[in-house]
């Protein structure tokens, strides 16, 4: 039994990875295929679908909007994430668990329900739907991820370093700026990147809250209705895939470095 398991588990793991990657790898494959219909066998190699992209103004507008929304949402989500992660890892206070639960709730709630609830309130308040409302929605769904990334960076953070700084006469703000912030920097950058990626990819929030504005996923959604547009959408998707991959690799490397650094200093000081 044990030997059977030892032999089958790696094979299963490999198969599982194939299952995970197959749909993702189809994007780049069909984006350089000459045929507009994505099917095997491939008909020939071309970059024409990519060449079309920079000439499409609607796409460029949507990309710019997504970029602005992503920057704003990731900054806000990370600032709010820092407050929450710091409060939760550093202090004990009454209501900590329910507060944490509420902040993390968007992770588990169906996104459409969160989106329509926000839509309802924003409409009731008479707030027009613009990119600003999309940013608000994205901040809400990014905070749980931001808090998760930051908490893993903050845990194991050695409090005695801050105490030492305070004892040596540094003010609270000075301690934060010169001790806490540098230690947290990798986790913070990692949170910014993860939030940006989520915002860039999010469709549901933008779909309900963007009004007449478009972001990249809304643009893609519109294009998916036309079969002939599929290859250029796949080309765009491939570019997004490469972009997210690079951002997340940086985020992961930084997060790990932050983890190692806080643990190492913890050990060194102890």
Partner 1 sequence: MTAAAEGSIAYRKARQNAKPLLQSEAARGFALVSPTLAFAVVMLLVPILVVIAHSFWTQNYLTVDYTFTLEQYRIALTEPIYRDLLLRSLFISFSVSVLTVLLAYPIAYYISFHGGRHKNLWLFLITIPFWTSYLLRVMSWKVILGYNGVLNSGLLGLGIIDEPSTALLYNSSAVIITLTHAWAAFAILPIFVSLEKVDRTLIEAATDLGDGPIRSFLRVTLPLSMTGVISALLIVMIPTVGDYVTPKLVGGKDGVMISNAIQAQFGKALNWPLGAALSVSTMLVVSAMAAASVLLLRLLVRRAR
Nearest distance from C-beta of residue 257 to partner 1, angstroms? 12
Residue ranges of the alpha helices (H) in 91-130?
A: 96-104, 111-124
Nearest distance from C-beta of residue 154 to partner 1, angstroms? 12
The 8 Å CB, 24+ separation contacts for 245-248 are 247/193, 247/196, 247/197, 248/193, 248/194, 248/197
Nearest distance from C-beta of residue 251 to partner 1, angstroms? 10
Nearest distance from C-beta of residue 193 to partner 1, angstroms? 11
Nearest distance from C-beta of residue 153 to partner 1, angstroms? 15
The Cα–Cα gap between 236 and 200 comes to: 13
The residue among 249, 153, 239 whose CA lies nearest residue 193 is 249
Nearer to partner 1, 142 or 158 (CB): 142
Nearer to partner 1, 158 or 240 (CB): 240
Three-class SS state of 33: strand
Orientation of helix 96-104 relative to helix 131-154, angle to 10°: 130
Exposure of 231 by Cβ count < 10 A (0-12 exposed, 13-18 middle, 19+ buried)?
Answer: buried
Nearer to partner 1, 153 or 217 (CB): 217
Nearer to partner 1, 68 or 248 (CB): 248
> Nearest 5°: CA angle at 188, between 186 and 189?
65
Nearer to partner 1, 22 or 270 (CB): 22
Nearest distance from C-beta of residue 150 to partner 1, angstroms? 11
Nearer to partner 1, 55 or 124 (CB): 124
């Amino acid at each position: 039994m044990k030997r059977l398991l030892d032999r089958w588990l790696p094979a299963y793991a490999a198969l599982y990875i194939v299952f995970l990657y197959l749909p993702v790898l189809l994007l780049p494959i069909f984006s350089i295929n000459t045929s507009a219909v994505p099917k095997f066998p491939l008909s020939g190699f071309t970059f024409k679908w990519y060449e079309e992209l920079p000439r499409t103004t609607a796409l460029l507008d949507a990309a710019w909007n997504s970029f602005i929304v992503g920057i704003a949402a990731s900054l806000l989500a990370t600032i709010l994430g820092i407050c929450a992660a710091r409060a939760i890892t550093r202090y004990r206070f009454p209501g900590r668990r329910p507060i944490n639960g509420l902040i993390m709730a968007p992770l588990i709630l169906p996104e459409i329900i969160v989106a329509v609830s926000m839509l309802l309130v924003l409409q009731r308040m008479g707030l027009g739907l613009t990119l600003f409302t999309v940013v608000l929605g994205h901040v809400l769904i990014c905070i749980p991820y931001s808090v998760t990334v930051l908490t893993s960076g903050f845990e194991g953070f050695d409090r005695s370093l801050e105490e030492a700084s305070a004892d040596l006469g540094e003010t609270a703000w000075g301690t934060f700026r010169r001790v806490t912030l540098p230690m947290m920097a990798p986790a913070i950058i990692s949170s910014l990147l993860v939030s940006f990626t989520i915002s860039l990819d999010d469709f549901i929030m933008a779909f309900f809250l963007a009004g007449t504005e478009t972001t990249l996923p809304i643009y893609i959604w519109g294009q998916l209705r036309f079969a002939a547009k599929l290859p250029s959408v796949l080309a765009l998707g491939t570019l997004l895939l490469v972009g997210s991959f690079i951002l997340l690799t940086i985020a992961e490397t930084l997060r790990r470095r932050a983890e190692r650094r806080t643990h190492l200093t913890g050990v060194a000081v102890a």
